[in-house]
Amino acid sequence: MRGEKDVVNKGGAARPKKLYLIDPGEKGTRHSIADWGFYPDHGRLSTAAVHQVASKRVQRYRQETQVEVLVEYSKTFLPKMPDNHFDWICLDSTHSYEGIRAELLVLRTKVKSGAIVAGDGWQDDPAHPHASTAKAGSEALERREYDPLVTLPALK
Ligand SMILES: C[S@@+](CC[C@H](N)C(=O)[O-])C[C@H]1O[C@@H](n2cnc3c(N)ncnc32)[C@H](O)[C@@H]1O
């Protein structure tokens, strides 16, 4: 949740009416914020503290954008949303094959036609720890569940 200021600050012409920031932030599970390095200060920041920082920061930059910062998993949040709802999605959550596959599947009905589904951490090297992102993404493109737009090399 800690890169959110870029989403609202650099949105420019694409500034959203409404922005949802979703992170379960549960300590002790594989994908908890505690396991995500500098995001939760290497486990020293609690879920509540990270949530508070993200909420405060996003309020500072949001301008007219209405923002909800939710402590929730994508797998519980996305199915609750109406169909044809999102203009733009950024996936940067589990980095696991199953997680991304599940997100991409449910999103097919949740995004509007022509919406952009972006994600972080595309790694073509199959030996990379986050290689599952590219695998799940490529498979969805091969199945023609999504149309390709662009892939950019991940920075790390
Ligand atoms: C690499 S961090 C990215 C954080 C954020 N995108 C940013 O740039 O500040 C991955 C985050 O995904 C969260 N996460 C893990 N599993 C998730 C899930 N199923 N649904 C939503 N978020 C999840 C983790 O708690 C972690 O904070």
Centre of ligand 1 to C-alpha 143, Å, is 26
Tell me the C-alpha distance between 42 and 9, whole Å.
Answer: 26
> Containing H/E element for 9?
helix 4-9
Centre of ligand 1 to C-alpha 97, Å, is 14
> What is the pTM (predicted TM-score) of this model?
0.85
| Residues at CB less than 6 angstroms from ligand 1 | 1-3, 22-25, 31-33, 36, 39, 73-75, 92-94, 99
Structure tokens at 85: 């709802």
Residue 155 inside a domain? The answer is no
- Tell me, yes or no, whether 3 and 65 share the same domain: yes
Residue 155 pLDDT level (bands cut at 50, 70, 90): low
> How many secondary structure helices (H) and strands (E) does the chain include?
5, 4
- 22, 39, 72 - which closes a domain: 72
Dihedral in degrees, nearest 10, Cα atoms 44, 4, 95, 123: -120
Question: Using CA positions, which residue lies closest to atom 13 of ligand 1?
Answer: 93
Domain extent, residue 118, equals: 81-145
Model confidence pLDDT, tens digit, residues 1-37: 444 545 555 545 568 899 999 988 765 444 455 566 6
Model confidence pLDDT, tens digit, residues 112-134: 999 999 998 888 888 988 888 89
Mapping DSSP to helix (H, G, I), strand (E, B) and coil, where does residue 114 land?
Answer: strand
Mean per-residue pLDDT, 32-47 = 65
Q: How many domains does the chain have?
A: 2
What are the residues facing 69 on neighbouring strands?
Answer: 21
Residue 85 phi/psi, 5° resolution? -105, -45
Question: Using CA positions, which residue lies closest to atom 26 of ligand 1?
Answer: 33
Centre of ligand 1 to C-alpha 11, Å, is 20
Residue 125 inside a domain? The answer is yes
- 93, 107, 120, 130: which to mutate for ligand 1, most atoms within 8 A of CB? 93
With contact defined as beta carbons under 8 Å apart, do 93 and 99 qualify?
Answer: yes
Model confidence pLDDT, tens digit, residues 67-113: 999 989 999 999 999 999 999 999 998 888 999 999 999 999 999 99
Tell me the C-alpha distance between 39 and 19, whole Å.
Answer: 20
